Amino acid sequence: MRFWLAVVFTGIATGIGAAILTTILEVVQSLCWGGSPTNVLQAAQHATPWRHIVVLLGAALVTGIGQKLLKRLSSGNGIDTTEAIWFQAGRMPTLLTLGSALLSVIIVGMGVSLGREGAPKQAGAVFANLFSDQGGLSDEQRRLLVACGAGAGMGAAYGVPLGGALFALEVMRGKLSLRYVLPALFTALIAVGVSWLALPDAPTYLIPSYAMSASVLLWALLAGPVAGVASVGYVRMVTWADRHRPQGWQRFTLPLVVMSSLGVVSIWLPQLLGNGKDVSELAFTGKVAPVLLLTLLLLKPAATVLCMRSGAPGGMFTPSLTAGALLGGVLGHAWSYLWPGVPPGLFALLGAGAVLAATTQGPISTVVLMLELTGRNRSFILPLLLIVCTATLVSRTIEPRSIYDARLSEEELRERQRQRDLPSR
Q: Are 243 and 83 in contact (CB under 8 A)?
A: no
For residue 74, the model assigns a pLDDT of 59
Q: Could you report the per-residue pLDDT of 168-188, keeping only the tens digit for each?
A: 999 998 888 888 999 999 999
Where residue 425 falls among pLDDT bands split at 50, 70, 90?
Answer: low
Q: Quick one: 340 exposed, middle or buried, by C-beta within 10 A (0-12, 13-18, 19+)?
A: exposed
Mean per-residue pLDDT for 222-242?
A: 96
Residue closest to 236 by CA, chosen among 331, 308, 157: 308
For residue 400, the model assigns a pLDDT of 87
Q: Could you report the per-residue pLDDT of 357-378, keeping only the tens digit for each?
A: 999 999 999 999 999 999 876 7
115 pairs with which residues across the strands?
Answer: 315
pLDDT at 12 over 50: yes
pLDDT at 383 over 60: yes
Q: Are 342 and 335 in contact (CB under 8 A)?
A: yes
Mean per-residue pLDDT for 117-142?
A: 94
In the chain, the percentage of residues whose pLDDT exceeds 70 is 96
Q: Could you report the per-residue pLDDT of 21-67, keeping only the tens digit for each?
A: 999 999 999 999 986 666 789 889 999 999 999 999 999 999 999 98
- Taking the C-alpha atoms of residue 58 and residue 64, their distance in angstroms, rounded to an integer, is 10
For residue 415, the model assigns a pLDDT of 80
Domains of the chain listed by start with CATH number: 2-195 (no CATH), 214-416 (1.10.3080.10)
User: Does residue 113 sit in helix, strand or coil?
Assistant: coil
pLDDT at 267 over 90: yes
For residue 81, the model assigns a pLDDT of 86
Contacts of 422 (CB under 8 A, 6+ apart): none
Where residue 70 falls among pLDDT bands split at 50, 70, 90?
Answer: confident
For residue 37, the model assigns a pLDDT of 66
Listing DSSP states for 273-312 in one string gives SSSSHHHHHHHHTT-S-HHHHHHHHHHHHHHHHHHHHTT-
Q: Are 345 and 208 in contact (CB under 8 A)?
A: yes
Least confident of 126-135, 395-404, 405-414: 405-414
Mean per-residue pLDDT for 238-252?
A: 90
pLDDT at 76 over 50: no
- What mean pLDDT, rounded, does the chain reach? 92
Listing DSSP states for 46-69 in one string gives TS-HHHHHHHHHHHHHHHHHHHHH
pLDDT at 90 over 80: yes
Q: Could you report the per-residue pLDDT of 306-351, keeping only the tens digit for each?
A: 999 999 999 999 999 999 999 999 999 999 999 998 999 999 999 9
